[in-house]
Structure 1
Amino acid sequence: MASRVAPAYSRAMETESQTFRDAAALLTGGESHRVWSLIVTIFGDLARRDGDRISGAALTRLVGLMGVKPEAMRVALFRLRKDGWIDSVREGRGSLHFLTPMGRRQSAEASPRIYEAERGFPDRWHLLVSGTGEQTGRGQLDSFLLTGEYLPVGSQVVIGQGPLPETLKGLLGVETGQVSVPDWLREQVCPPDLMAQYAALERDFTTLLSKLDRALPLATAEAAALRLLVVHSWRRLLFRHPDLPDCFFPSGWRGPDCRGLFRSLMGLLPAPDLVSLEAAL
C-alpha cells in the first residue's frame, strides 16, 4: 500500500513549535509508517470506547501534524472500513469516524500489552505436536498459529501459554510448569534486526524525555499528535513478536527499558478527552 507517513515534514508544518517538530522528526525520521496502521493507533489510543467519535476535520488535522496527506488518510480509512475496523456516518457537511464492535474488541485486547507497566504471564505452558507427514495435524497447528498466541518451535511443534486446549484433534499435547529456553529460540523470537530497533527506540525515547523535560508545554493538538507517534512507535515493535516473558528474549533485549520510558512519556503526554481535542484541532 502506497499510503505512508512521510518521514520528513512539509512547509505546512512550519507553523508548529520547534519542540514538536524536533520531537516528531525524532520518531519518524528515516522510516515511513503505514497510514492505516497509524489510524488504528489513533482510534485505539483516543477513541476505543463505544460512542467515541472523531470528526473527519479533526482527524485530517491530527494526521497532518504527523506528516500524513489528506488523500493518504482517505485511502487508509477506505481500507479500514472495508476490513470492518472503522465505520463512518455523515454529520452536516462532514463525517464522524468510529471503531466498529470488532475494532473496539481488538483494540481492547491489545491495550494491556501496550500500556501495562509490567506484563504478567501464566505459570503453565503447553506444547502441541503433529505427527511426521500427518497433514491434518499440520493444518491444525497452522490454525493455532493463526491466533497469534503460539510460537513455532519447529515444523511440527508449537508452544503456547496456559493449560492445554480442550480440543486437540489428533495433536499430541504436553503441559508443563517449567520451560528452559535455548539461545536459538531466543534469537528466533527476537532476531538481531529487531534487537537493534529496540535499542534505537530506547535512545529515541530517552532523548524525547530529555527534550520534553526542558521544553515549554506543548499545545493540546501537538501533545496529542506526539503522544500518538510515541504509542505507534512502541506498538509497532511490540507486535512484531509474540507476547512472551523476558526469558524468551536474548540477553541485552531492551524491551523492559523501553516499556519504562514509554510509561514515563505517557505521563508527560496524557490522553486528551475528545471534546477538548476536537476544539483544539
Structure 2
Amino acid sequence: MSNPDPIAEIIAERLTALQAAQRLSAWSLIVSFFGDAIGPRGGVVSAGTVQSVMQRLGIGAGAVRTAISRLSAEGWIERTREGRNSFYRLSGDVEETVLAAERRIYAASSLLPSNSPRSLLIAPGPLPDTSLQALETSGALQIAPQVILCFAPGSELPAALRLPGATLAETQTLAPGRAMRDQIALARQESEMEALRQAYAPVSRSLEANEPLSPEDAMALRCLMIHEWRRVALRVLAVPADLVDANDPEPETRSLIAAIYARLLGASEAWLDANATTPSGPLPPADPRLACRFRPA
C-alpha cells in the first residue's frame, strides 16, 4: 500500500470543508486563479489551463463553463478564440478593482501606524443609505447607530460622511472601551482569521517537513489558499495598531499564509511553465512584483 500524500489529503479536507460551508464557488475560484496566478504572467490563458486547475479542485467542466459564461456576461472576463482553442483574460474594466484588491490581499500587514489620525463623527440622526455605503469604501467603522469612527482627518472624509449638523471630533489618541473593542474585533474578522490559521497550520507543518509536493498540487493548493484568504483579507478593517488587542490573530495568520505562499510559489510557477498556454505559446515570464507579495513595501 502506498504512503498517503499529506498535501493531497489537506487539499481534499479543505475542499470538503468549503463544500459543507457552501463556499466552494467556481466563479470565485476562477477569479482568484486569474488574479493570483495569471495576472502576473501576462493575463491571458487557455480554457484548458483553467479547466485543469479547477478539475484538481473538484470543479467539473460543466460548472467551469457556466462560471465563465457568468463572468463574461457580467464583464469580468473577456473570451477570444484562436482556431479551435478558447482563451480568457480578466476584462480591462475590472483591472483597477483587481489591483486594489491585490494591494490588500498581498500586503505585509493590514494595520495602520499607531500615529494615524482618527475622527469620531456623531450624526444628528439615522445614517442615510449613501453614508452606510461609504463606510466600507472609506475604511470607517460604525460603532453605534449614529456614531462612526474614521481613520482619517475630518477634511479627508468622503462627502457622504460629512453630514450636515454632525459633530466631528479629531484626535491622535483614542482609548476604546470594551464595547468599541468588540466592534473592532468583529470588523477585524478575528474568528475567521483564527479559523483560517488553524486550517492551514497543517500545510505549513507538512511543507516544513519537506513532504512530497507535485507541481500540480502546489498550483491547486496555492489557488485554494488564496481563494480562502482573499475572502477574509478583503473584509478586514485596517485600523491603527494601538487599537487592536494583543491577541489579534491577523498578523499571525497573514504571516502563515505568506510563508506557505512562498513555499508553493516555485513549484506552482513550474506547473504554469509546463502546462499553461496563450495564443502565442507558453506564458511569458512572471512580473518581478510576484516575488514581492506579502513583503513590506
TM-score normalised to structure 2 length: 0.76
1:27 aligns with 2:25: no
Aligned to 1:69, which of 57, 60, 63?
60
Question: Which of 154, 159, 167 is residue 149 of structure 2 equivalent to?
Answer: 159
C-alpha separation in 2, matches of 1:74 and 1:171: 52
**Structure 1 unaligned spans of 5+:** 1-16
Q: 1:132 aligns with which of 125, 135, 140?
A: 125
Q: State the Cα deviation string for residues 121-176 of structure 1 (Å, max 9, x = none).
A: 2511223443225xxx6234123125262221222232222233264352634332
Q: Distance in 1 between matches of 2:14 and 2:208?
A: 17
Partner of 1:8: none
What is the percentage of aligned positions where both structures have the same residue? 25
Asked whether the 8 Å contact 1:190–1:241 carries over to 2, the reply is no
Question: Residue 261 of structure 1 aligns to which amino acid in structure 2?
Answer: L
- Partner of residue 261, structure 1: 256
Give the Cα separation in 1 of the matches to 2:25 and 2:70: 12
Aligned residues: 260
On the 8 A contact 1:128/1:141 being kept in 2, the answer is no
Q: 1:220 aligns with which of 215, 227, 236?
A: 215
For the 8 Å contact 1:54–1:98, the answer to whether it is kept is yes
Name the CA distance, whole Å, in 2 between partners of 1:94 and 1:243.
Answer: 43
**Aligned partners of 1:128 and 1:243: how far apart in 2?**
18
Look up the match of 2:195.
Answer: 200
Report the CA distance shift for 1:41/1:129 in structure 2 as closer, same or farther (over 3 A): same
Matched, 1:147 2:98: no
Equivalent residues of 2:7, 2:206 under 8 A apart: no
Q: How far apart are residue 223 of structure 1 and its match?
A: 1.0
Match of 1:235 among 223, 227, 230: 230
Q: Which residue of 2 aligns with 1:6?
A: none
Q: Which has the higher contact order (CA 8 A, sep 6+)?
A: 2
Equivalent residue runs for 1:79-158 within 5 Å: 79-121=70-112, 123-132=116-125, 138-145=128-135, 147=137, 149-158=139-148
**Which residue of structure 1 aligns with residue 173 of structure 2?**
178
Structure 2: 5+ residue stretches without partners: 283-297
How far the C-alpha of 1:217 sits from its partner, in A, is 4.3
The one-letter code matched in structure 1 to 2:8 is R
| Partner AA of 2:164 in structure 1 | G
Give 3-state SS (helix, strand or coil) of 2:59's partner.
Answer: coil
Q: How many Å apart are 1:111 and its aligned residue?
A: 1.6
Change in 2 beyond 3 A, CA 1:132/1:184: same
